[in-house]
Structure 1
Amino acid sequence: MSVQPTEKVYIEILKQIKSIIVEDGLQAGNKLPSERELSDRLKAGRSSVREALRALELLGLIETRRGEGTFIREATGHRLVEVLASFILNDKKARQDLEETRHIVIKDCTELAVTRCDSSTISKLRELIRQMDNGGQKETSEVCRKFEKIVIQSCGNHLLYRLYVELTGYGSSLQQAKSYWQPALCKEVLELLEQKNPEKLTNLLSKQNDALNAIE
Protein backbone atom coordinates (compact mmCIF):
# COMPACT_ATOMS: atom_id res chain seq x y z
CA MET A 1 0.00 0.00 0.00
CA SER A 2 1.40 3.37 -0.98
CA VAL A 3 2.04 6.06 1.62
CA GLN A 4 -0.44 8.91 1.48
CA PRO A 5 0.89 12.45 0.91
CA THR A 6 -0.32 13.59 4.35
CA GLU A 7 1.70 10.78 5.97
CA LYS A 8 4.81 11.84 4.03
CA VAL A 9 4.43 15.41 5.26
CA TYR A 10 3.97 14.23 8.84
CA ILE A 11 7.12 12.06 8.78
CA GLU A 12 9.14 14.79 7.10
CA ILE A 13 8.12 17.30 9.76
CA LEU A 14 9.28 14.91 12.50
CA LYS A 15 12.68 14.67 10.82
CA GLN A 16 12.92 18.45 10.44
CA ILE A 17 11.99 19.07 14.07
CA LYS A 18 14.82 16.72 15.04
CA SER A 19 17.17 18.74 12.81
CA ILE A 20 16.06 21.97 14.48
CA ILE A 21 16.79 20.47 17.91
CA VAL A 22 20.31 19.58 16.74
CA GLU A 23 20.94 22.88 14.95
CA ASP A 24 19.74 24.96 17.91
CA GLY A 25 21.76 22.85 20.34
CA LEU A 26 18.68 22.05 22.41
CA GLN A 27 18.97 19.55 25.25
CA ALA A 28 16.72 17.98 27.88
CA GLY A 29 14.90 20.72 29.75
CA ASN A 30 15.20 23.27 26.94
CA LYS A 31 12.14 24.87 25.38
CA LEU A 32 11.19 24.10 21.79
CA PRO A 33 10.23 26.87 19.36
CA SER A 34 6.51 27.61 19.42
CA GLU A 35 4.10 25.85 17.10
CA ARG A 36 3.81 29.02 15.03
CA GLU A 37 7.59 29.46 14.80
CA LEU A 38 8.05 25.82 13.77
CA SER A 39 5.37 26.25 11.14
CA ASP A 40 7.17 29.30 9.72
CA ARG A 41 10.64 27.70 9.81
CA LEU A 42 9.46 24.44 8.25
CA LYS A 43 7.12 26.09 5.75
CA ALA A 44 4.44 23.65 6.92
CA GLY A 45 0.83 23.94 8.03
CA ARG A 46 0.07 24.43 11.71
CA SER A 47 -2.08 21.29 11.81
CA SER A 48 0.77 19.10 10.47
CA VAL A 49 3.23 20.58 12.98
CA ARG A 50 0.70 20.03 15.75
CA GLU A 51 0.32 16.35 14.82
CA ALA A 52 4.08 15.86 14.78
CA LEU A 53 4.42 17.45 18.22
CA ARG A 54 1.58 15.31 19.53
CA ALA A 55 3.38 12.17 18.36
CA LEU A 56 6.58 13.26 20.11
CA GLU A 57 4.62 13.95 23.29
CA LEU A 58 2.93 10.55 23.20
CA LEU A 59 6.38 8.94 23.03
CA GLY A 60 7.39 10.97 26.07
CA LEU A 61 10.10 12.83 24.15
CA ILE A 62 8.61 16.26 24.86
CA GLU A 63 6.13 17.71 27.35
CA THR A 64 3.77 20.67 27.16
CA ARG A 65 3.49 22.93 30.20
CA ARG A 66 0.43 25.15 30.27
CA GLY A 67 1.36 28.78 29.93
CA GLU A 68 5.06 27.99 29.42
CA GLY A 69 5.44 26.07 26.16
CA THR A 70 6.85 22.74 25.00
CA PHE A 71 10.03 21.28 26.49
CA ILE A 72 12.39 18.38 25.73
CA ARG A 73 12.16 15.64 28.33
CA GLU A 74 14.96 13.63 29.93
CA ALA A 75 15.68 10.31 28.18
CA THR A 76 14.86 8.34 31.33
CA GLY A 77 11.32 9.72 31.19
CA HIS A 78 10.55 8.23 27.79
CA ARG A 79 7.44 6.07 27.76
CA LEU A 80 9.04 4.35 24.77
CA VAL A 81 11.64 2.84 27.10
CA GLU A 82 8.92 1.28 29.22
CA VAL A 83 6.97 0.03 26.21
CA LEU A 84 10.00 -1.60 24.59
CA ALA A 85 11.12 -3.09 27.88
CA SER A 86 7.77 -4.76 28.47
CA PHE A 87 7.85 -6.44 25.04
CA ILE A 88 11.53 -7.04 24.24
CA LEU A 89 12.96 -7.82 27.66
CA ASN A 90 10.28 -10.19 28.85
CA ASP A 91 12.47 -13.28 29.21
CA LYS A 92 15.25 -14.26 31.59
CA LYS A 93 18.02 -14.37 28.95
CA ALA A 94 17.23 -10.83 27.79
CA ARG A 95 17.33 -9.56 31.36
CA GLN A 96 20.66 -11.28 31.93
CA ASP A 97 22.03 -9.73 28.74
CA LEU A 98 20.85 -6.31 29.88
CA GLU A 99 22.56 -6.63 33.27
CA GLU A 100 25.75 -7.92 31.64
CA THR A 101 25.84 -5.07 29.12
CA ARG A 102 25.09 -2.52 31.83
CA HIS A 103 27.97 -3.87 33.89
CA ILE A 104 30.36 -3.62 30.93
CA VAL A 105 29.35 0.00 30.32
CA ILE A 106 29.73 0.86 34.01
CA LYS A 107 33.16 -0.74 34.16
CA ASP A 108 34.38 1.05 31.02
CA CYS A 109 33.02 4.39 32.21
CA THR A 110 34.63 3.98 35.62
CA GLU A 111 38.01 3.20 34.08
CA LEU A 112 37.80 6.41 32.05
CA ALA A 113 36.69 8.33 35.13
CA VAL A 114 39.96 7.46 36.87
CA THR A 115 41.88 9.85 34.61
CA ARG A 116 39.07 12.29 33.79
CA CYS A 117 37.24 13.11 37.02
CA ASP A 118 38.39 16.39 38.53
CA SER A 119 38.77 17.65 42.08
CA SER A 120 35.26 19.09 42.02
CA THR A 121 33.82 15.65 41.24
CA ILE A 122 35.89 14.03 43.98
CA SER A 123 34.56 16.61 46.45
CA LYS A 124 30.96 15.82 45.44
CA LEU A 125 31.60 12.11 45.90
CA ARG A 126 33.12 12.65 49.34
CA GLU A 127 30.04 14.61 50.37
CA LEU A 128 27.80 11.78 49.16
CA ILE A 129 29.79 9.30 51.26
CA ARG A 130 29.14 11.50 54.30
CA GLN A 131 25.43 11.49 53.46
CA MET A 132 25.46 7.68 53.23
CA ASP A 133 26.92 7.45 56.71
CA ASN A 134 24.25 9.75 58.15
CA GLY A 135 21.12 8.67 56.23
CA GLY A 136 18.49 5.98 56.69
CA GLN A 137 18.19 2.94 54.44
CA LYS A 138 15.97 4.63 51.82
CA GLU A 139 18.02 7.81 51.75
CA THR A 140 21.26 5.83 51.55
CA SER A 141 19.97 3.85 48.56
CA GLU A 142 19.15 7.08 46.71
CA VAL A 143 22.56 8.55 47.52
CA CYS A 144 24.28 5.38 46.26
CA ARG A 145 22.48 5.68 42.93
CA LYS A 146 23.47 9.33 42.72
CA PHE A 147 27.09 8.43 43.52
CA GLU A 148 27.14 5.82 40.76
CA LYS A 149 25.61 8.22 38.23
CA ILE A 150 28.12 10.99 39.00
CA VAL A 151 31.05 8.61 38.56
CA ILE A 152 29.67 7.35 35.23
CA GLN A 153 29.02 10.91 34.04
CA SER A 154 32.57 11.96 34.93
CA CYS A 155 33.96 9.52 32.32
CA GLY A 156 33.66 12.38 29.83
CA ASN A 157 32.18 10.15 27.10
CA HIS A 158 28.63 11.28 26.39
CA LEU A 159 27.74 8.22 24.30
CA LEU A 160 28.77 5.78 27.02
CA TYR A 161 26.88 7.84 29.57
CA ARG A 162 23.73 7.79 27.45
CA LEU A 163 24.06 4.01 27.09
CA TYR A 164 24.24 3.76 30.86
CA VAL A 165 21.13 5.94 31.25
CA GLU A 166 19.13 3.96 28.68
CA LEU A 167 20.17 0.55 30.04
CA THR A 168 19.27 1.67 33.54
CA GLY A 169 15.96 2.96 32.19
CA TYR A 170 15.12 -0.41 30.63
CA GLY A 171 16.02 -2.23 33.82
CA SER A 172 13.96 0.12 35.97
CA SER A 173 10.95 -0.43 33.70
CA LEU A 174 11.25 -4.14 34.40
CA GLN A 175 11.98 -3.57 38.09
CA GLN A 176 15.14 -5.57 37.51
CA ALA A 177 17.88 -2.96 37.74
CA LYS A 178 19.74 -2.78 41.01
CA SER A 179 22.57 -0.48 41.89
CA TYR A 180 25.81 -2.43 41.92
CA TRP A 181 27.13 0.19 44.26
CA GLN A 182 26.24 -0.20 47.92
CA PRO A 183 27.91 2.09 50.50
CA ALA A 184 30.93 -0.15 51.06
CA LEU A 185 31.56 -0.39 47.32
CA CYS A 186 31.11 3.37 46.85
CA LYS A 187 33.79 4.00 49.46
CA GLU A 188 36.20 1.63 47.72
CA VAL A 189 35.48 3.21 44.33
CA LEU A 190 36.16 6.68 45.73
CA GLU A 191 39.42 5.54 47.28
CA LEU A 192 40.63 4.03 44.00
CA LEU A 193 39.55 7.11 42.04
CA GLU A 194 41.64 9.22 44.40
CA GLN A 195 44.56 6.83 43.91
CA LYS A 196 43.97 6.87 40.13
CA ASN A 197 44.21 3.09 39.97
CA PRO A 198 42.20 1.72 37.00
CA GLU A 199 43.46 -1.85 37.38
CA LYS A 200 42.19 -2.25 40.93
CA LEU A 201 38.92 -0.59 39.99
CA THR A 202 38.39 -3.06 37.16
CA ASN A 203 39.10 -5.99 39.46
CA LEU A 204 36.80 -4.57 42.13
CA LEU A 205 33.85 -4.16 39.75
CA SER A 206 34.44 -7.57 38.19
CA LYS A 207 34.37 -9.25 41.61
CA GLN A 208 31.21 -7.34 42.48
CA ASN A 209 29.50 -8.51 39.30
CA ASP A 210 30.58 -12.12 39.90
CA ALA A 211 29.14 -11.95 43.41
CA LEU A 212 25.82 -10.61 42.11
CA ASN A 213 25.62 -13.36 39.48
CA ALA A 214 26.32 -16.01 42.09
CA ILE A 215 23.29 -15.07 44.20
CA GLU A 216 20.79 -14.66 41.31
Structure 2
Amino acid sequence: MDKKQENKKVFLEIVHQLRELIKHEGIQPGEKIPSERVLSERLNVGRSSVREALRSLELLGLIETRHGGGTFLSAVHSNQLVEILASFILQENKAVEDVHIVRRMHEKEAIRVICSEQSLRNLPVWESLFMKLELENEIVRDLLLRELIIASGNRLALKIWIQLVAYSSTPLKKVSTREEKPMLQMLIKSIQLGYEKEALNAYENWINFLRNSSS
Protein backbone atom coordinates (compact mmCIF):
# COMPACT_ATOMS: atom_id res chain seq x y z
CA MET A 1 0.00 0.00 0.00
CA ASP A 2 1.49 3.38 -0.99
CA LYS A 3 1.65 6.34 1.39
CA LYS A 4 -1.38 8.09 -0.08
CA GLN A 5 -3.58 5.00 0.27
CA GLU A 6 -2.28 4.42 3.78
CA ASN A 7 -3.18 7.98 4.77
CA LYS A 8 -6.69 7.50 3.39
CA LYS A 9 -7.07 4.28 5.36
CA VAL A 10 -6.02 6.00 8.59
CA PHE A 11 -8.46 8.85 7.94
CA LEU A 12 -11.32 6.40 7.41
CA GLU A 13 -10.46 4.49 10.58
CA ILE A 14 -10.52 7.69 12.60
CA VAL A 15 -13.85 8.75 11.07
CA HIS A 16 -15.40 5.36 11.80
CA GLN A 17 -13.99 5.40 15.33
CA LEU A 18 -15.51 8.80 16.03
CA ARG A 19 -18.84 7.73 14.59
CA GLU A 20 -18.92 4.64 16.80
CA LEU A 21 -17.99 6.66 19.87
CA ILE A 22 -20.72 9.19 19.11
CA LYS A 23 -23.27 6.42 18.61
CA HIS A 24 -22.42 4.12 21.53
CA GLU A 25 -21.40 6.70 24.10
CA GLY A 26 -24.21 9.11 23.26
CA ILE A 27 -21.95 12.09 22.67
CA GLN A 28 -24.10 15.12 21.99
CA PRO A 29 -23.30 18.29 20.01
CA GLY A 30 -21.05 20.48 22.12
CA GLU A 31 -19.67 17.57 24.13
CA LYS A 32 -16.04 16.54 24.21
CA ILE A 33 -14.61 13.77 22.03
CA PRO A 34 -11.54 11.63 22.87
CA SER A 35 -8.13 13.28 22.75
CA GLU A 36 -5.44 12.74 20.14
CA ARG A 37 -3.63 10.44 22.58
CA VAL A 38 -6.69 8.27 23.21
CA LEU A 39 -7.54 7.97 19.51
CA SER A 40 -3.90 7.20 18.72
CA GLU A 41 -3.87 4.38 21.26
CA ARG A 42 -7.21 2.92 20.16
CA LEU A 43 -6.29 2.95 16.48
CA ASN A 44 -2.64 2.06 16.98
CA VAL A 45 -1.54 4.92 14.71
CA GLY A 46 0.75 7.87 15.25
CA ARG A 47 -0.55 11.00 16.91
CA SER A 48 0.52 13.03 13.88
CA SER A 49 -1.87 10.99 11.70
CA VAL A 50 -4.67 11.54 14.19
CA ARG A 51 -3.87 15.24 14.33
CA GLU A 52 -4.06 15.61 10.54
CA ALA A 53 -7.37 13.75 10.38
CA LEU A 54 -8.86 15.88 13.15
CA ARG A 55 -7.62 19.01 11.41
CA SER A 56 -9.44 17.93 8.25
CA LEU A 57 -12.64 17.31 10.18
CA GLU A 58 -12.33 20.70 11.86
CA LEU A 59 -11.95 22.44 8.50
CA LEU A 60 -15.26 20.87 7.52
CA GLY A 61 -16.88 22.18 10.68
CA LEU A 62 -17.53 18.67 12.01
CA ILE A 63 -15.56 19.23 15.20
CA GLU A 64 -14.19 22.29 16.95
CA THR A 65 -11.09 22.76 19.08
CA ARG A 66 -11.23 25.03 22.10
CA HIS A 67 -7.93 26.38 23.34
CA GLY A 68 -7.01 24.55 26.49
CA GLY A 69 -10.31 22.68 26.53
CA GLY A 70 -10.00 19.89 23.99
CA THR A 71 -11.99 18.92 20.91
CA PHE A 72 -15.79 18.96 20.75
CA LEU A 73 -18.51 17.63 18.49
CA SER A 74 -20.19 20.22 16.30
CA ALA A 75 -23.79 20.30 15.03
CA VAL A 76 -25.57 16.98 14.45
CA HIS A 77 -26.00 17.54 10.71
CA SER A 78 -22.23 17.73 10.36
CA ASN A 79 -21.92 14.07 11.29
CA GLN A 80 -23.97 13.19 8.25
CA LEU A 81 -21.59 15.18 6.08
CA VAL A 82 -18.51 13.38 7.35
CA GLU A 83 -20.04 10.00 6.56
CA ILE A 84 -20.88 11.10 3.04
CA LEU A 85 -17.47 12.64 2.45
CA ALA A 86 -15.55 9.71 3.89
CA SER A 87 -17.50 7.22 1.79
CA PHE A 88 -16.30 9.02 -1.33
CA ILE A 89 -12.71 9.95 -0.64
CA LEU A 90 -11.67 6.56 0.65
CA GLN A 91 -12.98 4.31 -2.09
CA GLU A 92 -11.41 3.52 -5.43
CA ASN A 93 -12.02 4.07 -9.14
CA LYS A 94 -15.40 5.74 -9.66
CA ALA A 95 -15.31 7.42 -6.24
CA VAL A 96 -12.03 9.10 -7.16
CA GLU A 97 -13.64 10.53 -10.27
CA ASP A 98 -16.62 11.61 -8.18
CA VAL A 99 -14.21 13.64 -6.04
CA HIS A 100 -12.92 15.37 -9.18
CA ILE A 101 -16.46 16.06 -10.39
CA VAL A 102 -17.60 17.59 -7.10
CA ARG A 103 -14.44 19.68 -6.88
CA ARG A 104 -14.94 21.00 -10.40
CA MET A 105 -18.57 21.83 -9.61
CA HIS A 106 -17.39 24.12 -6.82
CA GLU A 107 -14.76 25.72 -9.05
CA LYS A 108 -17.16 26.37 -11.93
CA GLU A 109 -19.78 27.83 -9.62
CA ALA A 110 -17.12 30.14 -8.17
CA ILE A 111 -16.31 31.33 -11.70
CA ARG A 112 -20.00 32.06 -12.34
CA VAL A 113 -20.34 34.01 -9.09
CA ILE A 114 -17.22 36.09 -9.76
CA CYS A 115 -18.19 36.87 -13.34
CA SER A 116 -21.59 38.10 -12.19
CA GLU A 117 -20.25 40.64 -9.68
CA GLN A 118 -18.08 43.56 -10.74
CA SER A 119 -16.49 43.98 -7.31
CA LEU A 120 -15.24 40.40 -7.46
CA ARG A 121 -14.03 40.76 -11.04
CA ASN A 122 -12.02 43.82 -10.02
CA LEU A 123 -10.14 42.14 -7.19
CA PRO A 124 -6.39 42.83 -7.57
CA VAL A 125 -5.53 39.14 -7.20
CA TRP A 126 -6.53 38.45 -10.82
CA GLU A 127 -4.13 41.01 -12.24
CA SER A 128 -1.40 39.73 -9.93
CA LEU A 129 -1.88 36.16 -11.14
CA PHE A 130 -2.03 37.29 -14.77
CA MET A 131 1.24 39.24 -14.44
CA LYS A 132 2.93 36.35 -12.63
CA LEU A 133 2.09 34.15 -15.59
CA GLU A 134 3.30 36.81 -18.00
CA LEU A 135 6.63 37.33 -16.24
CA GLU A 136 7.39 33.88 -14.83
CA ASN A 137 5.36 31.65 -17.19
CA GLU A 138 4.02 29.62 -14.27
CA ILE A 139 1.89 29.62 -11.13
CA VAL A 140 1.02 26.96 -8.59
CA ARG A 141 -2.14 25.46 -10.01
CA ASP A 142 -4.20 25.16 -6.85
CA LEU A 143 -3.32 28.75 -5.92
CA LEU A 144 -5.53 30.02 -8.73
CA LEU A 145 -8.31 27.59 -7.87
CA ARG A 146 -8.15 28.47 -4.20
CA GLU A 147 -8.43 32.18 -5.03
CA LEU A 148 -11.53 31.44 -7.10
CA ILE A 149 -13.24 29.69 -4.20
CA ILE A 150 -12.18 32.35 -1.69
CA ALA A 151 -13.36 35.19 -3.94
CA SER A 152 -16.78 33.58 -4.36
CA GLY A 153 -17.33 34.18 -0.64
CA ASN A 154 -18.75 30.76 0.25
CA ARG A 155 -16.90 29.57 3.37
CA LEU A 156 -18.51 26.13 3.41
CA ALA A 157 -17.54 25.60 -0.23
CA LEU A 158 -13.96 26.52 0.67
CA LYS A 159 -13.86 24.02 3.54
CA ILE A 160 -15.20 21.23 1.34
CA TRP A 161 -12.96 22.19 -1.59
CA ILE A 162 -9.83 22.00 0.60
CA GLN A 163 -10.64 18.41 1.46
CA LEU A 164 -11.52 17.47 -2.11
CA VAL A 165 -8.17 18.81 -3.30
CA ALA A 166 -6.36 16.87 -0.57
CA TYR A 167 -7.75 13.60 -1.94
CA SER A 168 -7.52 14.48 -5.60
CA SER A 169 -5.01 12.67 -7.82
CA THR A 170 -4.80 15.65 -10.17
CA PRO A 171 -1.36 17.28 -9.71
CA LEU A 172 -2.86 20.56 -8.58
CA LYS A 173 -0.07 21.45 -6.17
CA LYS A 174 2.54 21.51 -8.93
CA VAL A 175 3.44 24.56 -10.97
CA SER A 176 1.85 25.08 -14.36
CA THR A 177 3.72 24.49 -17.60
CA ARG A 178 4.27 26.80 -20.56
CA GLU A 179 1.58 24.89 -22.45
CA GLU A 180 -0.95 25.89 -19.82
CA LYS A 181 -0.06 29.59 -19.84
CA PRO A 182 -2.46 30.73 -22.62
CA MET A 183 -5.34 28.73 -21.13
CA LEU A 184 -4.77 30.20 -17.69
CA GLN A 185 -4.42 33.73 -19.00
CA MET A 186 -7.59 33.35 -21.00
CA LEU A 187 -9.37 32.13 -17.87
CA ILE A 188 -8.15 35.04 -15.77
CA LYS A 189 -8.80 37.70 -18.40
CA SER A 190 -12.30 36.36 -19.10
CA ILE A 191 -13.06 36.51 -15.38
CA GLN A 192 -11.86 40.11 -15.23
CA LEU A 193 -14.10 41.04 -18.14
CA GLY A 194 -17.09 39.13 -16.77
CA TYR A 195 -17.25 36.81 -19.78
CA GLU A 196 -18.73 33.79 -18.04
CA LYS A 197 -18.99 31.48 -21.06
CA GLU A 198 -15.42 32.18 -22.18
CA ALA A 199 -14.11 31.77 -18.63
CA LEU A 200 -15.84 28.41 -18.22
CA ASN A 201 -14.55 27.25 -21.61
CA ALA A 202 -11.01 28.23 -20.68
CA TYR A 203 -11.39 26.43 -17.36
CA GLU A 204 -12.66 23.26 -19.06
CA ASN A 205 -9.84 23.36 -21.61
CA TRP A 206 -7.29 23.67 -18.85
CA ILE A 207 -8.78 20.87 -16.71
CA ASN A 208 -8.99 18.57 -19.74
CA PHE A 209 -5.35 19.35 -20.51
CA LEU A 210 -4.37 18.34 -16.97
CA ARG A 211 -6.40 15.15 -17.14
CA ASN A 212 -4.85 14.15 -20.46
CA SER A 213 -1.36 15.01 -19.26
CA SER A 214 -1.68 12.87 -16.14
CA SER A 215 -3.31 9.89 -17.84
The TM-score range, normalised by the shorter chain, is 0.5 to 0.7
Question: What is aligned with 2:154?
Answer: 157
The 5 Å alignment of 1:13-162 reads: 15-17=29-31, 49=32, 52=33, 54=35, 58=51, 59-60=54-55, 61=58, 69=68, 84=86, 88-89=90-91, 91-116=92-117, 118=119, 122-135=123-136, 140-141=139-140, 144-162=141-159
Name the CA distance, whole Å, in 2 between partners of 1:150 and 1:194: 13
Contact 1:102 1:168 in 2 (8 A): yes
Return the letter of the residue paired with 2:146. K
Q: Which runs of 5+ in 1 are unaligned?
A: 18-48, 73-79
Task: Kindly provide the amino acid, as one letter, of the partner of residue 187 in structure 1.
Answer: Q
How far has the Cα of 1:155 moved from its partner?
A: 1.5
Partners of 1:164 and 1:197 in 2: CA distance? 24
Map of 2:200 onto structure 1: 202
Q: Where does the alignment leave 5 or more consecutive residues of structure 2 unmatched? A: 1-20, 40-49, 59-63, 72-81
User: What CA distance in whole angstroms lies between the structure 1 residues aligned with 2:70 and 2:148?
Assistant: 27
Give the aligned CA root-mean-square deviation in angstroms.
Answer: 4.0
TM-score (norm 2): 0.54
- 1:36 maps to none
Could you state the TM-score of these two structures normalised by the residue count of structure 1?
Answer: 0.54
State which structure, 1 or 2, has the greater radius of gyration over its C-alpha atoms: 1
Residue 208 of structure 1 deviates from its aligned partner by: 2.9
Residues 29-58 of structure 1, C-alpha deviations (whole Å, 9 max, x = no match): xxxxxxxxxxxxxxxxxxxx5xx3626975
* Distance in structure 1 (CA, Å) of the matches to 2:137 and 2:211: 27
CA distance in 1, matches of 2:70, 2:142: 26
Question: Given that residues 113 and 156 in structure 1 are in contact (C-alpha distance below 8 angstroms), is that contact kept between their aligned partners in structure 2?
Answer: no
Conserved 8 A contact 1:109-1:161:
no
Q: Which residue of 2 aligns with 1:187?
A: 185
Paired residue for 1:43?
A: none
SS of alignment partner, residue 179 of structure 1: coil
Distance (Å, rounded) in 2 between the aligned partners of 1:156 and 1:189: 19
Distance 1:117 1:71 in 2: 43
One-letter amino acid of the structure 1 residue matched with residue 171 of structure 2: K
Q: CA 1:167–1:110 in structure 2 vs 1: closer, same or farther (change >3 Å)?
A: same
Query: Against the structure 1 CA distance between its residues 202 and 86, is the aligned structure 2 distance closer, same or farther, given a 3 Å change threshold?
Result: closer
Is 1:177 the counterpart of 2:178? The answer is: no
Query: What is the distance in 2 between the residues matched to 1:214 and 1:119?
Result: 31
How many residues align? The count is: 155
